[in-house]
A and B are shown apart, each in its own frame.
Chain A
Amino acid sequence: MRTRLPRRTFLKGVGTVIALPVLEAMMPASASAAAKKPPLRMLFMSVPNGVHMQAWRPGEEGPLGELPATLEPLTGVKDYMNVLTGLTQHHARPNGDGPGDHARSAAAFLTGCQPRKTNGADIKVGISVDQFAAQNNPARTRFPSLELGLERGAQAGNCDSGYSCAYSSSISWASETTPVAKEVDPRLVFDRLFGNGDSAEETEARIKRERYRKSILDFVMEDAKRLQAQLGVKDQQKLDEYLTGVREIEKRIELASKANIQGVAGGATRPSGIPSDYAEHAKLMQDMLFLAFRGDLTRISTFMWANEGSNRPYRQIGISDGHHDLSHHQGDAAKHEKLKQINRFHIQNLAYFAEKLKNTPEGEGTMLDNCMIVYGSGISDGNRHNHDDLPVLLLGRGGGTIQTGRHLVYPQNTPMNNLFLSMLDRMNIECQSLGDSQGRLEKLT
C-alpha cells in the first residue's frame, strides 16, 4: 500500500514543496527523444463579454508599432505575437435562434458550430479544435489536453436565454454532445500533474498499484460494455463518455509506466487551493500550465479567464460593477474606461505567462518560440453582441513557422476556424475541415 498523508493534513499546510532536480534523464521519453526539436504546443484562452475594441486594435496592418493601451502590457513579447483582425465566429450569431449571444459565443468559440438552443436535453454543438487535436495528436503526452479555467460552472439558474449552462462555461467539447469539464483549483491541477506530493512512493509499490488500477479498469470496462448492450441510444451516449474516460486513463497508465517517472515538479510549490485574489489565481493556474508544458506532460490546453457572460467585479483594480453589466456600455465613456481597465488587467496577467515562456530557453530559442497561444473573445463589442471583427491574439512562433510582430487584417467574415486549421497543420494533425472552416488562414508565415 502506498504511504500517504491524510489529504486533509495537506490542505491545512500552506503548501508542500517538492524538490526534485530537473534532470534531462528524468524528462519523459517523448521530451528527451525529441531533444533536438522541442515540442510544439497549442493553447486557447478565452475572455468573456468582448473587449473595448478602440483600445485594442492597432492602427494599420503591418509591423506592430507602439501597442494600443489595452495590449501595452505585452510590449515585452511584441516580437513574439500577432494581432489578428477580422476573424468571425459566424455560429455565435443567432441564425434564427434569438437571444443568447454569450452562451453561443463560448460554445462556438473553438468549435465553429451552432449550438442547439436547449436548456438541458440534447445539448449539442461540435468538437472543439483543442479536443480534435488531443484525439488525433500523433505525439502522445501523458495528458492529451488540459482544460483550465478561473470560474466554476454555474451552480443554479439559467445561464443565458434558454441555453444550458454547459454552453457558457465550456469552450472544450470532446464530441458534439460532450463538454469537457475544466479544472479551476490549482492545487488539483498540481495533484493531477504530479501526484499529490507523494513522490517518495517506491517504484515497486507504484507499479503494483498501477497494475491493480489496470485490472480495476478492465473490470469496469467489461461492466460498461455489457451494460451498453442493454441500453437505449441516448443512454449509450452517456456510457460512451464513461468508456472514453476509462480508455484515456488506461493509456495514461501505460505511458507512465513506459516513461517510468511520476512527473517532475522541478521544485515547484504545491498550491494550497484557490486564492481569493483573481490575479493570484490566474498566476497560479498559468504556473501550473507552464509546468505541464515544460515537462511535456501535455501540448494542448484551454483556459477560460471567466465563464462567458461573467458578471464578476474586479475590485483589485477598483471596479465594483459587474463585468457583464459594464459590457452593455451604451457608449457611455465612464463604462468604456472601466471596460478598458478590465481588458488591460486580463492582458497584464497574460503578459506574466508570456514573459515566463519567453524567459525559458528551449532548444535554440525559448519556450514561447514553440507555442501557439490564441487569446480572444467570441464577442467583439459587448454592447452590440457582434461576433465578427473578434479580438484575437496569436502569441508564439509556432516552432518557427509563424512570422510574428505584426498586425494582420483579414477580410470581413473570415472564419476563425481557418486559423485553427493552420494551427493543426503545424501540429502535424491532419484535418480537412473543422466547423465552418473554409480553408487555411493566410499571412501567418
Chain B
Amino acid sequence: MRSSSAVILFSILVAPALAIYAADSAPMAAKGGKGGHQNRAAGASFENSVLPLMTRYCGGCHGEKTQVAGISFHTFKDEASVVKGRRTWEKVAEAVKTGHMPPKNAVPLPAKDRALLTGWIETKLASAGCDLRDSGRVTLRRLNRAEYNNTIRDLVGIDFRPADDFPSDDVGYGFDNIGDVLTISPLLMEKYLNAAEQITERAIAANSYNAPAERVHAKDLADAAGGQFHENTFRILGQTGDSLRRAFTFSKDGEYVLRVRAFGQQFGDEPPKMAVRLDGGDRFNPMSTEVALLEVKATEDSPHVYEARAKVTAGRRRFSVTYTNNFKDLENPDPAKRGDRNLLVEWIEVIGPVADEAKPIPESHKRLFVVQPEEGKEREAARLIVERFATRAFRRPVRAEELDRILKIWEMSQTDGESFERGIQLAVQAVLVSPHFLFRVELDDPKAAAAPGASAAGQPINDWELASRLSYFLWASMPDEELMQLAAAGRLAQPEVLEAQAKRMLRDPKSRAVVENFADQWLNLRLLKNVNPDPKRYPAFNDALRQAMVNETQLFFESIMREDRPVTDLLDARYTFLNERLATHYGIEWVKGDHFRKVVLPDERRGGILTHASVLTLTSNPTRTSPVKRGKWVLEQVLGTPPPPAPPDVPALAEDTAEMMVKGTLKQRMEQHRRDPACATCHLSMDAMGFALENFDPIGAWREKDGEEPIDASGALKTGEKVDGIGGLKKILRKQKGEFVRNFSEQLLTYALGRGLEHYDDCVVNDITQRTARQRYSFSSFVTEIVKSDPFRKRRGEGEVQ
C-alpha cells in the first residue's frame, strides 16, 4: 500500500484553489511558525507545527471544501487522530518525502519544513507502535448465501442450495461476508422459514400421510366400557373385552391406516394389549376381522399413536378397539405389588386410502435419527436426536434450557397426534430459524477477560467460536466433527493445533470454498456474469466461453492453494488450465475435449491471472478494451493501491464510433485526455499498465492490431519506468512483489475476519508479510499466519477503548 498509491492519491492539484486557500490561512501558519520550526520534528506538536504546515501547503486542495482525490486534512485534529488514520499519513509522508507533493505547480514546500513534516509523521507512526494492539470487534455475522447452502449441506446431508432463492448479500470491502453489511429483512426472514420447512421435508421421512383423515375422540365414541374418563380425554378400558367403536366411511378401495392414541397403566408381566378390528361392512358379513393385536407399552407421561394398516374395500365399516388382557391384583399382602392393568384411549382415526409403497428413507434421515424411538421412550429419543442436531447447528453444545424449549414444539406435535418423525421435523425447523443457527454468535465472556492472554485490546474467543471462525474462513461452512471434538477438549486454541488444523482443512476438498468465495470476489470474477461483449464485434463470446474463462482462473488459483505454491505465482506462471474451447480462443491447438487440464504454456504471452481471459474480459467495455479499467484493476486488485475516483464532471472516453475512429487510435485519444493535468497524475501509471495489456482484445484473445492500427503496448509509469506489453508488465509487477503480497494479506485477512481492516490491523499485516516471506510466500503460510494472528483469535470486549 505504499509508494505508488501515495503518488496517485496526492497528485491531483489545482493551483488556483491552493493560492486562495494559502492566503486565507496565512495568519494561522504564522502563529504556528513561532516555536515549531526550531524544535524540529521530535519536539514538534501536531497542533502547533504540523497542522499549520499542512493547512498552508496542502489545505487548498485537501481541505474541507475541496477534497481532491477524496483526501482532506480538516478531520485530523490531534495526534491521536493521526495514529488512527495511519494509512493516510503513511502515504502523506511518502508523497512529501519523495517530492510528489506538493505538486510542481503549487507553492513549494521549503526543505526544512519538508523534513519537519516527514520526520514528525514517521516518528509518530513508529512510536504509536504495535505493542498495544487492538484485535478489533467483528459485528455479529449472519450466514451469507454460500455459507447457508454449505452449512445445510454439511449439517443435514442434502445439497440442494435453498439459499439460491434468497436475496443477494450486500458487499462491503469487496466481500459478501462482512458482518456490518449483512442485514436481515422481513423478506429474508420469510425465506429462512420456508427454507427450514423445505429442508426438513426433504431430509426427514415424516411418516405422515397425504390423505384424508377422520379422527374421533373417545368421548364421542360408542362403547362397551363403563364410560370412565381419565383427565377428561382418555377413555379407560378396564376389563377384558371393553371396547370402543365407530363406523367410518371408506370412500374407495385401497389401503388405509387405522390409528389409535393410547397408553397403558402398566401392571403385571406384560403390557396391555388392544385388538384393532374392522367389521365386514354389512349385515351379510358382520364378522369382525382382527387387523392387528398391539401391545401398548407407552405410559401416561408419553402416550403413543399406534397404527395398523389394512386393505379395505369401499363402504361403511366399523372400526373397533378392544382391550384383551386385563390383569389386576388389589389384594396382594405387599402393598407395593398391588395394581391394575388398564388400557386408555384418547382417539381413533382412519387415514386413507394411502399410497401402497412407502417412500424410501433418505440417507439424511438415517443420519439425523441417531436413535430409534422405543415405544414409551419417545421423549428420551427426541431429546437425544434434537440435542445432537442443535449442537451441530449452533456449533456449540446446546444448553439444557434451550433443549427444553425446542422439545416443547415436538411435544405439541405429539399431543396433536403427529408422528414422532413429524415432531422432529418441527423441532429441527425451529433450530434452523433460531438466531443461534443463522448468526455466528460470539459473546463477551467475563471470565475470558480475566484469563491469561487477555488484554485491554482483546480477549481470546472461546474454542467453539474459534472452530467456527476457522471453518467459515476455509470452508464457508460449519465445523466438522474433528474441530468440534478439539473445541470440546479445549485444545483448539493451542497454536500448534490451530496450525495443524488449518493445514488439514486446506487439504480437505471443502476448501474449494476459498476459491469460490474469496478468489472469485477478490479477482472480481463474479462480475463476469454481467459482462456483455457486443456480439456483432465479438461473436466468439458465449456462455460456454464465459464459463470456461471462470474455470481457468478458479482452477489456477486452486492449484496454487492445493500445491501450496508461492502466491506470487498468481502473477506469473508457466502453466494454466484449459479445455478445447478456451485453448482455441488462446490459439493453442493441441488441447482437445471439454475437460480442463493443466497445460504448460509455450510463451510469455499467457500465464498468470493478468493474461486470463476472465480478467481481461471483465475489465473491458462491451465494444472495446478499456486500458483505464484494466490499469485500475491492476492497481486495485493486484497491488492494493486503488486510484481515487474521478471527479464527477470529468468526461469518460468516447465509445468507438466510425466518426470517432477518424480522430485517431484509442491510445492517441487517451494521450490527449491525459494532457489535462487534472487527469494526468492519476492516469499515467494506470494507463501505462492498461496499455501493456492492449494485445488482448475485449474478450481476452491475442491480437496484433486494433482495427487497422497495429497495437502499441508501450508506455511509461509515473516514475518514468518503461513498460512494454505483457512481458514488461510482469517484470514491473515482479519488482512490486512487496505491494502485491501485502495486498494479498490484507484481502485474505478481510475475508477471514468478515470486517474491514482498521489502522490497528496494520501491525498484523506487517507481521504476516514478514513471516510469510520466510516461508517463500507459500499459500498455506498466509492461512496459518492469519489463523494464529490476534484479530483472528481475539476480540475486543464491548465498551473497551479502541
Contact = CB atoms under 8 A, between A and B. Distances in A.
Contact of B416 (A153, A208, A217, A223): A208
Contacts of B450: none
Given A245-B190, A328-B652, A155 B526 contact: yes
Nearest to B169: A153
B621 A322 contact: yes
Interface residues of A, number: 89
Contact of B171 (A159, A177, A248, A320): A159
A192 B166 CA distance: 12
B645 A165 contact: no
A183 B434 contact: no
A184 to B, nearest CB: 8
B80 interface: no
A234 B140 contact: yes
A111 B278 CA distance: 69
B325 interface: no
B649 A383 contact: yes
A48 interface: no
Interface in B170-192: 170-176, 178-190
Interface string B132-159: 0000010110100000000000000000
A235 interface: yes
Nearest to B750: A120
Nearest to A159: B171
Interface in B407-432: 408-409, 412-413, 416, 422, 426, 429-430
Interface in A306-323: 312-313, 315, 320-322
A238 B139 contact: yes
Interface string A114-149: 000011111100000000000000000000100100
Given A224-B435, A232-B798, A216 B409 contact: yes
A3 interface: yes
Nearest to A247: B186
B145 to A, nearest CB: 10
A325 B651 CA distance: 10
A244 interface: yes
Given A98-B645, A223-B402, A1 B201 contact: yes
Given A164-B170, A320-B534, A245 B184 contact: yes
A37 interface: no
Contact of B185 (A158, A178, A224): A178
B70 A166 contact: no
Contacts of A96: 64-65, 67
A7 B160 CA distance: 10
A384 B651 CA distance: 9
B659 interface: yes
A188 B165 contact: yes
A325 B180 contact: no
Nearest to A224: B435
Contact of B433 (A155, A165, A216): A216
B441 A227 contact: yes
Nearest to A228: B435
B435 A165 contact: no
Contacts of A155: 168, 171, 176, 521, 526-527, 529
A19 interface: no
Contact of B659 (A321, A326, A334, A385): A334
22 contacts: A96-B67, A99-B647, A101-B648, A120-B756, A121-B139, A152-B168, A155-B526, A156-B524, A157-B527, A181-B167, A181-B188, A219-B409, A219-B430, A223-B435, A231-B443, A234-B137, A235-B139, A238-B184, A239-B435, A249-B190, A315-B535, A330-B652
Interface of B: 64-65, 67, 70, 137, 139-140, 142, 160, 165, 167-176, 178-190, 193, 196, 198, 201-202, 206, 208, 210, 402, 405-406, 408-409, 412-413, 416, 422, 426, 429-430, 433-436, 438-439, 441, 443-444, 520-521, 524-527, 529-530, 532, 534-536, 621-623, 636, 642, 644-649, 651-652, 654-655, 657, 659, 755-756, 798-799
Given A147-B185, A232-B137, 11 more contacts: A7-B198, A154-B527, A164-B181, A166-B171, A177-B183, A216-B426, A234-B180, A241-B185, A248-B189, A320-B535, A328-B652
